[in-house]
Amino acid sequence: MAHDPQDIARHFMEAIPHARDLNMAILEIGEGRCTIEMPYDEKLIGDPRSGVVHGGAVSALMDTCSGAAVMCHPDNPAGTATLDLRIDYMRPATPGQTIRAEAECYHVTRSVAFVRARALDDDRDRPVATATGAFIVEQGKRP
Amino acid sequence: MSRPSPEPVQIIKKRRDSALEALVGGIPYVSYLGIRFERRGDELTGILPFDDKLIGNPMLPALHGGVTAAFLETTASIALAWSRLWQEVESGEVDPDSLDPTSLPRMPKTIDFTVDYLRSGLPRDAYARARIVRSGRRYASVQVDGWQDNRDRLYASASGHFVMPQGRDD
């Protein structure tokens, strides 16, 4: 019996030490789409004067979310790893607010999965950051 | 006419090291990841000591791609801020002993950052060095190399664009 891709991705996500350490939580996952939240935390601050979260923490969230979107895509049989990731920062995230990442794996070939993602705070109309990435499709379980 | 004797080396080193410490030490996220910087003259090397919490793939195990991105981005922005601060400290414009998180120069703002993952990040210490490709009055472009056991076998490389802060209260 085939494993439910949602279960695999959810289990995998919870097993990622760095995602767990940043208290990331999956809100929705399936069919190449994923939404993950990361609560505000003082240890994530990049600018002590304003309390704004460091861009690197937003990158970690977007990378996790993008990887999970690849993992739960129906055409991806196994695990994945990031090939490249480009992040555009539109504005600083508002201090104190949870950051939410939404990723969509919009195309999968035999070897590469293509993903776009965005990061939002409470102001859903103005993204904090957007990302595009290419991920490895592991060939392990293909015939 | 006799030249003034040069400053003792210990005093110069202390001044430079305390300026660097003031720049890096005040950022909570940098402390959380455990990143520190080694200085040779004005050249900085970022060091990310391995820790279990940095793992992204527990099967291999491998460093989290987001950690690698954050490490390289931090190295790039610290290198940029440091190049400005270095000039200010060396010219005597800024006294490093007076630097604290409220009087430090604002950090450059990242516009975009692109990371190429060349090898999986091993569960070991990682190193990074940035090269400022262009630093204008308003914008800067930076390239960063990341490696682990071998300097010639990069595990990641990145490039990014930054907006430079205009003055300390910008």
CA distance B170 to B165: 6
Give the C-alpha separation, A16 to B12, whole Å.
Answer: 44
Domain boundaries, chain A: 5-137
B116 touches chain A (CB under 8 A): yes
DSSP strand pairing (B55-57 vs B139-147) = unpaired
- Please check the confidence at residue A22 and state whether its pLDDT lies above 50: yes
Q: How many cross-chain Cβ pairs, A to B, lie less than 8 Å apart?
A: 129
A67 part of contact set with chain B, CB < 8 Å = yes
DSSP string, B66-85: HHHHHHHHHHHHHHHHHHHH
Distance from CA of B111 to the nearest CA of A (A): 5
The architecture CATH gives domain A5-137: Roll (3.10)
> Which has the higher per-residue pLDDT, B90 or A13?
B90
Predicted confidence (pLDDT) at residue A131 exceeds the cutoff of 50: yes
In whole numbers, what is the pLDDT of chain B averaged over residues?
91
Q: Which of residues 32-61 of A touch B (CB under 8 A)?
A: 42-49, 53-57, 59-61
- Per residue in A38-94, pLDDT (tens digit) is 999 999 999 888 899 999 999 999 999 999 999 889 887 677 889 999 999 999 999
Q: CA-to-CA distance for B124 and A50, rounded, in angstroms?
A: 33
Q: pTM for this structure?
A: 0.92
Domains delineated in chain B:
9-163 (3.10.129.10)
CA B98 to chain centroid, in Å, comes to 21
- The 10s digit of each residue's pLDDT in A101-126 is 999 999 999 999 999 999 999 999 99
Rounded Cα gap, residues A10 and B136, in angstroms: 45
Measured distance CA(A66)–CA(A140) in Å, rounded: 20
Residue B143 pLDDT grade (very low, low, confident, very high; cuts 50, 70, 90): very high
Please state the three-class secondary structure of A60-89 as a single string: HHHHHHHHHHHHCCCCCCCCEEEEEEEEEE
Instruction: Give per-residue pLDDT as tens, A28-46.
Output: 988 999 999 999 999 999 9
pLDDT level of residue B44 (50, 70, 90 thresholds): very high
Instruction: Give me the phi and psi of B131, to 5 degrees please.
Output: -125, 125
Which residues, in sequence order, are CB contacts of A22 under 8 Å at separation 6+? A38, A41, A44, A57, A60, A61
Residue A10 pLDDT exceeds 70: no
- Percent of chain B having pLDDT more than 70? 95
Q: Considering only the C-alpha atoms of chain B, give the largest distance between any 2 of them, rounded to a whole number of Å.
A: 70
